């Protein structure tokens, strides 16, 4: 009977995988990899093939989403397939769909977890995990202005909660939504609403390259962050709600926030 092991690559590069993940890759009959659901700009296929001793077969968005992973499932009927994915596997809907498909075909599935940006941003920012409300992805605007991210930030703020904003990516086109562009989009919606959810003076945290050797975590007003150069992707933004005393200290000492953030402590 066949088998698919979904293996998380963790963050940044080929060293983000766990020892268990690498062990599973080594014992697999075929190893597939997708690198489009989340950006891993520093991942080297060549170096990973050297570490694991296995050739990697790329799977594209088209193969997984339009063709429902047929080629991969066909291989998995005959042996053990390892599917490498960025971050922690099965956070992306497309992996859940593939897993469901496999189980329906009586192909055994299992998961080897990896570090995810979802918990990494909590760690690097020093904010408490239980104070985050629902997260949201800010999409490329491309003419259409989605108000969902703004509404999510607003709803979380009302409850005193932090909002993690993931920024859209189009890995195939190598396009990454920037912190600057995302903030401009939110400010445009603010203008229409005449509210006080995301203004020039709102406190925000811009995060670049969490999990790499040179992450940037910068807490300041939207006005200041708009001018800040965050360098290379991937990016995310946190809009904090009410702060715990220690969260304010963390923002000041670890993210360069002005001492005035202490006024948000509740």
Q: Tell me which residues touch its own copies (CB under 8 A).
A: 8, 10-20, 22-23, 51, 87-91, 93, 96-97, 99-100, 103-104, 110-111, 113-116, 118-120, 122-124, 126, 128-137, 155, 159, 161, 210-211, 213, 215, 246, 249-250, 253-254
How many CB atoms within 10 Å of residue 45? 14
- Whole-number minimum distance, CB 166 to its own copies, in Å? 9
Closer Cβ to its own copies, 3 or 223, answer by number = 3
What is the C-alpha separation between 175 and 140, in angstroms, rounded?
Answer: 10
Torsion of CA 178, 181, 183, 184, to 10 degrees: 170
Pairing between strand 163-167 and 108-112?
unpaired
Closer Cβ to its own copies, 51 or 226, answer by number = 51
Torsion of CA 258, 214, 139, 250, to 10 degrees: -30
- Whole-number minimum distance, CB 130 to its own copies, in Å? 5
Closer Cβ to its own copies, 134 or 174, answer by number = 134
DSSP 195: -
Inter-residue contact 113 to 18 (CB < 8 Å) = yes
- Whole-number minimum distance, CB 215 to its own copies, in Å? 8
- Whole-number minimum distance, CB 105 to its own copies, in Å? 11
Inter-residue contact 72 to 109 (CB < 8 Å) = no
What is the C-alpha separation between 110 and 54, in angstroms, rounded?
Answer: 20
Pairing between strand 136-138 and 216-221?
unpaired
Supply the Cα-derived Rg of the chain in whole angstroms. Answer: 20
- Whole-number minimum distance, CB 248 to its own copies, in Å? 11
Closer Cβ to its own copies, 17 or 198, answer by number = 17
Closer Cβ to its own copies, 16 or 39, answer by number = 16
Consecutive H or E run containing 71: helix 70-78
Closer Cβ to its own copies, 226 or 252, answer by number = 252
Q: What's the sign of the alpha-carbon dihedral 42, 98, 20, 57?
A: negative
Inter-residue contact 251 to 257 (CB < 8 Å) = yes
- Whole-number minimum distance, CB 115 to its own copies, in Å? 4
- Whole-number minimum distance, CB 96 to its own copies, in Å? 5
Closer Cβ to its own copies, 15 or 77, answer by number = 15
């Amino acid at each position: 009977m066949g088998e698919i092991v979904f293996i998380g690559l963790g963050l940044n590069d080929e060293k983000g995988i766990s020892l268990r993940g690498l062990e599973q890759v080594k014992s697999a009959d075929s190893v597939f990899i997708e690198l489009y659901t989340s950006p891993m700009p520093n991942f080297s296929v060549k170096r990973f093939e050297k570490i694991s001793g296995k050739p990697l077969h790329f799977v594209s968005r088209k193969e997984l989403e339009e063709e429902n992973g047929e080629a991969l499932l066909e291989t998995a009927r005959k042996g053990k397939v390892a599917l490498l994915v960025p971050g922690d596997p099965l956070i992306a809907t497309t992996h859940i769909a593939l897993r469901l498909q496999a189980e329906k075909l009586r192909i055994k599935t299992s998961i080897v977890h990896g570090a995810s940006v979802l918990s990494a941003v909590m760690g690097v920012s020093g904010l408490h995990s239980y104070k985050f409300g629902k997260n949201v992805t800010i999409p490329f605007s491309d003419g259409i202005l989605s108000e969902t991210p703004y509404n999510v930030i607003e709803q979380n703020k009302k409850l005193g909660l932090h909002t993690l904003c993931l920024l859209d990516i189009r890995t195939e086109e190598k396009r990454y939504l920037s912190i600057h562009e995302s903030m401009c989009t939110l400010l445009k919606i603010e203008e229409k609403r005449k509210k006080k959810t995301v203004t020039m003076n709102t406190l925000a945290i811009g995060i670049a390259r969490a999990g790499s050797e040179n992450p940037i975590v910068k807490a300041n007003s939207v006005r200041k962050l708009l001018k800040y150069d965050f360098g290379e992707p991937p990016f995310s933004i946190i809009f904090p709600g009410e702060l715990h005393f220690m969260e304010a200290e963390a923002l000041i000492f670890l993210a360069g926030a002005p001492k005035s953030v202490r006024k948000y402590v509740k």
